[in-house]
Amino acid sequence: MSTVLYRKYRAQNFDELIGQGHITQILKNAIKKDQLSHAYLFVGARGTGKTSAARIFAKAVNCTNIGKDGNPCSKCKICKGVAKGNFLDLIEIDAASNRGIDQIRELKEKIEFSPSEGKYKVYIIDEVHMLTTEAFNALLKTLEEPPSHIIFILATTEVHKLPATILSRCQRYDFRLGNDKEIEEVIDRSAKGEGMKVEDSAKYLIVKNARGSYRDALSLLDVIFCGQSGKDKKITEDEVRNLLGLPDIAMVDSLLSSLMDGDAKKALELIESIEGKGVNLGQFVSYTLETLREVLVAKIKDEELEYDFYDKVVQKDILKLVKIFLEIERNLKGSSNQSLILEMVIPEFCADAYIEEEEEEEEEEAVDNDVDIKGNDDSKPTVADSDKQIDFDVIKKNWGKVAQAVKPVHRHLFAFLGTSKPIKCEGSSLYIEVPFQFHKDQIDCPQSRDVINQVLKDMFNISCNLVCSVNEKAKPRMKGNADIVLKNIPTKESVNVATTNKKNFSRSGISAEVEAIFEGL
């Protein structure tokens, strides 16, 4: 079985540990001066070299031919034993699977024994934050006063979960994520060792997707190497995209252009095409955010970029897009219907662009005709009887406009209400129906009811009891995403109504607490 790259090219001395010079220099000095602590804490994101540094440190403190600079020789029996994983005095414990008090008690019993081969017995406890409270308590005394031949190295990605009593007993070292240049160095070193050549554009993609993790960069490179046919030794950008399921810039550019043009149909077709090509939607959204960042920086620096959508956006548009795609990125995680999450960008952005365009046209027309558009209520639905009886036909006919009037107050409620339909009126109660229980739960919460009732009051001059139910006969359809999305795209007529109500609807009727709750949805 071949060895994976991140193990094959694991750093063997402190100088090979890229990007952590601020830590390795201190550790080398401590070894040279024989000023060792009994407990160390290595903190940092995954793949930043914490375990590699711990192993190098274990080699160095036991090396029989230590270098003048504090590096292990990597040639003596002990160094070779650590590298091969058969050095008896290096004990690695995975706290995720050995997190109980019994395991810590067993450890405490064994530390009294002297080292078998080296000068020190080194315990590396990985993901130490996973230990139970009882296990931490059992470890405390040992950490405070261990035998002189014992060194503990605790490693964690979530230092905030460690008790203060543990933190106070360790020397802490924070490992940082690698920058682009450092990740490139790791890729170049491994590619050279494998006799492979990586195109600069392909290397750029690997670096961006590694997100500062040296191990992730090598894992991605491993996948690409395995996908090679063996006929050549060159990695191209297209190979990286195909093997990792990455989008290309043309996809991102086209979608953003259609959003800026307010072309909902084209945007929907593009998303369906992206999904049809098997592109990872999470990767697509991440790449879109990277592109938006690049464009924002270029706008600030007053530089030009060769994107179709570049001249269509200003900084305000970019910030709005970034906010929307960040929300999509959060919602994609754990979602079983990722395409719908991405498709919701269409009513989120295209609808606003269309409304703003209509508002500008109305304002220009008002100036030309010397009309105060704020007093223009021509597009408002017919109001029910003055005695405030509910006219079901009027409400049913204008229900789509109710959803549009809710949108300026809160977009999420607008999306849920857009899937509903009125089914009957009985006395002072208005009955509506939704396809899913989740939609009902969102509409039934008191804050949502306040918003909907206020809109009904403003539009129809009625006060009613809203009763929401789930249509049990409705079945989810895999290809139904387009129906939901396109239903929420405003027609020109509905936009006029939404614009009018946006001007007439006042937020003053909604408490600050309600707005705060809705803002966090």
Pairing type for strands 429-434 and 421-426 reads antiparallel
| pLDDT at 339 > cutoff 90 | no
Clarify whether residues 64 and 165 are in a common domain: yes
Residue 431 backbone phi and psi in degrees, to 5: -100, 130
Q: Would you say residue 350 lies in a domain?
A: no
Q: Residue 154: what pLDDT?
A: 95
Mean pLDDT of 453-473: 84
Q: Would you say residue 115 lies in a domain?
A: yes
3-state DSSP assignment of residue 121: strand
Clarify whether residues 443 and 476 are in a common domain: yes
What are the residues whose beta carbons fall under 8 Å from the beta carbon of 338, sequence distance 6 or more?
A: 281, 282, 332
Structure confidence by residue, pLDDT tens digits, 367-387: 454 444 344 444 544 444 434
Token pair, residue 284, equals 């697509």
Q: Would you say residue 261 lies in a domain?
A: yes
Q: Residue 231: what pLDDT?
A: 59
| pLDDT at 75 > cutoff 60 | yes
Q: Residue 510: what pLDDT?
A: 45
pLDDT bracket for residue 229 (50, 70, 90) = low
Residue 177, Ramachandran bin (φ over 0: left; ψ between -120 and 50: alpha; else beta): beta
| pLDDT at 513 > cutoff 90 | no
| pLDDT at 56 > cutoff 80 | yes
Q: Would you say residue 313 lies in a domain?
A: yes
Q: Residue 493: what pLDDT?
A: 53
Query: Which H or E run includes 242?
Result: helix 237-244
Clarify whether residues 311 and 266 are in a common domain: yes
Q: Would you say residue 354 lies in a domain?
A: no
Could you say which of 325, 343, 361 is where a domain stops? 343
Token pair, residue 107, equals 């450890």
Q: Residue 517: what pLDDT?
A: 39
For residue 237, the domain's CATH number is 1.10.8.60
* CA neighbours closer than 13 Å in the CB half-sphere of residue 164: 0
Q: Residue 344: what pLDDT?
A: 83
Token pair, residue 56, equals 């190098």
Among 53, 56, 47, 54, CA closest to 214:
47
Token pair, residue 249, equals 């810039």
Could you say which of 244, 263, 293 is where a domain stops? 244
For residue 37, the domain's CATH number is 3.40.50.300
What are the residues whose beta carbons fall under 8 Å from the beta carbon of 446, sequence distance 6 or more?
A: none
Clarify whether residues 266 and 169 are in a common domain: no
Among 268, 501, 492, 506, CA closest to 403:
501
Clarify whether residues 66 and 147 are in a common domain: yes
| pLDDT at 362 > cutoff 70 | no
pLDDT bracket for residue 2 (50, 70, 90) = low
For residue 405, the domain's CATH number is 3.30.300.180
Q: Residue 389: what pLDDT?
A: 64
Could you say which of 192, 227, 244 is where a domain stops? 244
Clarify whether residues 226 and 263 are in a common domain: no
Orientation angle between helical segments 214-226 and 180-193, nearest 10 degrees: 40
Structure confidence by residue, pLDDT tens digits, 270-299: 998 888 888 888 888 988 998 999 999 999
Token pair, residue 65, equals 């031919």
Mean pLDDT of 343-354: 69
Clarify whether residues 336 and 401 are in a common domain: no
Structure confidence by residue, pLDDT tens digits, 472-512: 775 444 444 555 555 555 555 554 544 444 444 444 444 44
Among 276, 487, 320, CA closest to 284:
276
Q: Residue 436: what pLDDT?
A: 80
Clarify whether residues 145 and 35 are in a common domain: yes
Contact 153, 123 (CB under 8 A): yes
Q: What is the spatial distance between Cα 62 and Cα 493, in angstroms, rounded to a whole number?
A: 80
Clarify whether residues 145 and 238 are in a common domain: no
Query: Which H or E run includes 466?
Result: strand 465-470
Q: pLDDT > 90: what percent of the chain?
A: 25
3-state DSSP assignment of residue 174: strand
Q: Would you say residue 207 lies in a domain?
A: yes
Which residue would you say has higher pLDDT here, 289 or 112?
289
pLDDT bracket for residue 153 (50, 70, 90) = very high
Among 38, 39, 40, CA closest to 24:
40
Q: What is the spatial distance between Cα 140 and Cα 131, in angstroms, rounded to a whole number?
A: 12
| pLDDT at 348 > cutoff 90 | no
Q: Would you say residue 166 lies in a domain?
A: yes
Clarify whether residues 10 and 29 are in a common domain: yes
Residues 112, 115, 116: CA angle, nearest 5 degrees: 125
pLDDT bracket for residue 351 (50, 70, 90) = low
- In this structure, the number of other CB atoms found within 10 A of the CB of residue 1 comes to 3
Q: Would you say residue 214 lies in a domain?
A: yes
Among 431, 401, 430, CA closest to 418:
401
Residue 182, Ramachandran bin (φ over 0: left; ψ between -120 and 50: alpha; else beta): alpha
Clarify whether residues 33 and 142 are in a common domain: yes
Mean pLDDT of 509-516: 44
Clarify whether residues 98 and 112 are in a common domain: yes
Residue-number span of the structural domain to which 203 is assigned: 180-244
387-423 CB burial, b ≥16 within 10 A, e <16: eeebebebbeebbbbbbbbbbbbbbbbbbbbbbbebe
Q: Residue 120: what pLDDT?
A: 93
Structure confidence by residue, pLDDT tens digits, 432-452: 988 888 778 888 888 888 888
Q: What is the spatial distance between Cα 283 and Cα 327, in angstroms, rounded to a whole number?
A: 14
| pLDDT at 93 > cutoff 80 | yes
For residue 300, the domain's CATH number is 1.20.272
Mean pLDDT of 6-34: 91
| pLDDT at 257 > cutoff 60 | yes
Q: Total structural domains in the chain?
A: 4
- In this structure, the number of other CB atoms found within 10 A of the CB of residue 381 comes to 18
